[in-house]
Amino acid sequence: MTSSAELFATAQKLMPGGVNSPVRAFGSVGGVPPFMVGAKGPYLHDADGNDYVDLVCSWGPALLGHAHPAIQDAVHAAVDRGLSFGASTPDEGKLAQLVMDRFGGVERMRMVSTGTEATMTAVRLARGYTGRDLIVKFAGCYHGHLDGLLAAAGSGLATLSLPGSAGVTAATAAETLVLPYNDPEAITAAFARHGDKIAAVITESAPCNMGVVTPEAGFNKFLSETTTAHGSLLILDEVLTGFRASDAGYWGLTGRTEGWVPDLYTFGKVIGGGLPAAALGGRAEVMDYLAPLGPVYQAGTLSGNPVAMAAGIAQLSHATDEVYAHIDEKSLALQGALADALTAAGVDYSIQVAGNLFSVAFGTSEHGVHNYAQAQGQEAYRYAPFFHQMLDSGVYLPPSVFEAWFISSAHDDAAMNKIFDALPGAARAAASAVPSA
C-alpha cells in the first residue's frame, strides 16, 4: 500500500498544496497529513494502516459516525434508482419537510450543493428583496468562500494568517461591513449610520470558525430585533451548527426559547449526511423572490441530487433526541478531561463552548474568547505540539486551533477512553511549547 508520505508528495504535484481544501494540508500544525482510505463509526483509517478516533467528523456531517448503516443503505438504494435526473424528485420535498419540522420560520426551502452556495444565494436574495447593497458580517465568522464574505473570515484564513483573499475586488469588499462579534454597540452604530442601506446581517448562529465563540445571551435576538426595526434581514448561518448543536441547531438553544426567528437560514454539513447537499430556507415572502417566482436568479445542475437527498433524509430521520443527548454527554466528558489534563500540565487555557460544540484557546483564561481579536491573540503556538501528540496517540483533531471539535453518536466508551488516555501527554506537549521566532 502507498504511504501517506508518498501520496502527499504526489498530490503536491497535482493539486495546489496537495489538497482540495486548504486546512487539510496541515499548514498550521506541520507534518504529513494522513491520507484516509476508510472510516467506520468514530474511527478513520489511513493509508499506512493506522486507526484514529475522529474528532473532525468530516467537519460536521458525520453526526451519526462514519458509514452509518441507515445512511449507507439509503444511498445504495438511491444509487440503484439512478444518480441524477435533471428533474424534480419526491425526496427533495421530504428533506425540506424534515427541516421545516425542526426550525421555526422555515416556510420555503431551496436545495443547493454546498454551504457556500447557500450563503451566496441568501446574500443575493437579501439584496434583491430589500433593494439594498450593504451586508454586515462579523470578524471571525466564516460563511463559505464567496467573494463578499471573505473579509476577516476566520479559520482557514486565520490558520494561514491571511486578512482576506486576493482576487476579491475593492468594490466587492466595500459592500461588506465587518463588525466585531458580540458587540451590540457596534451594530447600533452601524445601523445608525447606514441603516437604510443594509440589506442583511449574516452571522454564524454560534461562531465555530474562529474556534468556538459563545454568542452572549440575547445577542442573536438583538440582531433579529435590530434588522427587523431597520427593514433589513437577518441571515442565520446554521451550516455548521444546524442539526448538531441541537435538533434545531444553535437556534434551537436560543431563538426557539427566546421567541424569534431569522428571515433566512442557511444549512449544510449535517443536512447532506456526508454527500454534497446544502440549503437555504426562511420566510415565504422573501424566499418567493427566488426564480422562477421572483426576480432573484439561482439554479443548480445537481441541486437536490437524489443520492444526496436520500443521505440527508436518512441522517435527519436517525438524528433523534437520544443522538443529541449522547453527543451532549460525551462532549461534556471530553471538555472535563481536556480541562483536567491542561490544568495538571500547568497550561493556561479556556474552553469555548456553544452547545455540544467546543474548542480550546490557549493563554486566554483571564477573559476567555468573545471575538476574533481575542481568538487571534491566544497562544496558538501551543496547538501544533498538542495536536501531533494526540495524532501519534491515535486521535485525529482538527488541524487548526481555530476549529471546533466534533463528536458523533458513534463515539462510544472505547473511543472516548482512547481520547482520555491521549490527553495528558498532549497537554504536557502544549505546556513545553515555545513560540516560534
Ligand X SMILES: *Cc1c(COP(=O)(O)O)cnc(C)c1O
Which positions touch ligand X (CB under 6 A)?
Answer: 114-116, 119, 142-144, 204, 209, 237, 239-240, 268, 278
Beta bridge partners, 176, equal 135
Nearer to ligand X, 191 or 265 (CB): 265
* Whether 237 is catalytic: yes
Of 239 and 351, CB closest to ligand X: 239
Cβ closest to ligand X, residue 159 vs residue 389: 159
| Amino acid found at 113 | S
Q: How, if at all, do strands 395-396 and 51-54 pair?
A: parallel
CA distance 386 to 381: 9
Taking the complex as a whole, the smallest distance from the CB of residue 138 to ligand X amounts, in Å, to 11
Residue (241 or 376) nearer to ligand X, CB: 241
Task: Report yes or no: 281 and 103 within 8 Å, Cβ to Cβ.
Answer: yes
Q: Find the shortest distance in angstroms from Cβ 14 to ligand X.
A: 21
Of 115 and 306, nearer to ligand X (C-beta) is 115
Closest CA to 278 of 432, 401, 111: 111
Minimum Å distance from CB 297 to ligand X?
20
Among the listed residues 43, 142, 349, 383, the single catalytic one is 142
Rg (CA), the chain: 21
Cα dist. 351→1, 117, 169, 214 in Å? 39, 31, 37, 10
Which segments of 30-161 does DSSP mark as H helices, in order?
69-81, 90-102, 115-130, 155-159
User: What letter represents residue 142's amino acid?
Assistant: Y
- To the nearest 10°, report the CA torsion of 186, 188, 191, 194: -50
Q: Shortest approach of ligand X to residue 150 CB, angstroms?
A: 12
Task: Point out the catalytic residue in the list 269, 324, 349, 396.
Answer: 269
Which residue, 237 or 247, is less far from ligand X as judged by CB?
237
Catalytic residue among 46, 54, 91, 237: 237
Q: Shortest distance, CB of residue 269 to ligand X, whole angstroms?
A: 6
How many Cβ atoms from other residues are within 10 Å of residue 411's Cβ?
Answer: 27
Could you tell me which residues come within 8 angstroms of residue 62 by beta carbon, excluding any fewer than 6 positions away? 39, 54, 274, 406, 408
Grid cell in block for residue 213: 465563540
Least distance CB 116 / ligand X (angstroms): 3
* In the complex, residue closest to ligand X by CB: 115
Nearer to ligand X, 139 or 416 (CB): 139
Torsion of CA 177, 181, 186, 192, to 10 degrees: 50
Residue closer to ligand X, measured from CB, 114 or 182: 114
Between 211 and 268, name the residue whose CB sits nearer to ligand X: 268
**Beta carbons within 8 Å of 259's beta carbon, 6+ residues apart:** none
Q: Which three cell numbers stand for residue 212?
A: 468556538
Q: Find the shortest distance in angstroms from Cβ 58 to ligand X.
A: 11
269: annotated active-site residue: yes
Identity of the amino acid at 69: P
The residue written with cell numbers 486521535 in the block is 395
Q: Which amino acid is at 357?
A: L
CB 127 within 8 A of CB 133: yes
Minimum CB separation of residue 148 from ligand X in Å reads: 13
How crowded is residue 88: how many other Cβ atoms within 10 Å of its Cβ?
9
Q: How far is the CB of 265 from ligand X (least distance, A)?
A: 11
β-bridge pairing 51-54 and 43-46: antiparallel
Half-sphere exposure for 182 (CA within 13 Å, toward CB): 17
Q: How far apart are CA 273 and CA 312, in angstroms?
A: 5
CB 166 within 8 A of CB 160: no
* Three cell numbers, residue 333: 466528558
CA atoms within 13 A on the CB side of 109: 25
Which residues are marked as active site?
Answer: 142, 237, 269
